Amino acid sequence: MTVTLTAGGDEHQVTVPRHRDVRIGTLDAIVADVAAFLGLPKEAVRDTLFG
């Protein structure tokens, strides 16, 4: 599945697997990609998503 992020008028697409189990490395790469696009540290994105 492709998710489109929008911030400050810019768009960025992230591919997210739709299967039940996602490997930790894949999840870390998705979080890193989102963090880079938003200009935030990975920890901030991780905390926002997973509390």
Structural domain boundaries in the chain:
2-50
d(CA 25, CA 37): 18
Indicate the pTM of the whole model: 0.83
Contact status, residue 42 vs residue 35, Cβ threshold 8 Å: yes
Point out which residues pair with 11 in neighbouring strands: 6
Point out which residues pair with 10 in neighbouring strands: 7
Render pLDDT for 4-51 as a digit per residue (tens, 0 to 9): 999 989 999 999 999 889 999 999 999 999 999 999 999 999 999 998
* Per-residue model confidence (pLDDT) at position 48: 94
How is residue 21 written in tokens? 């189990």
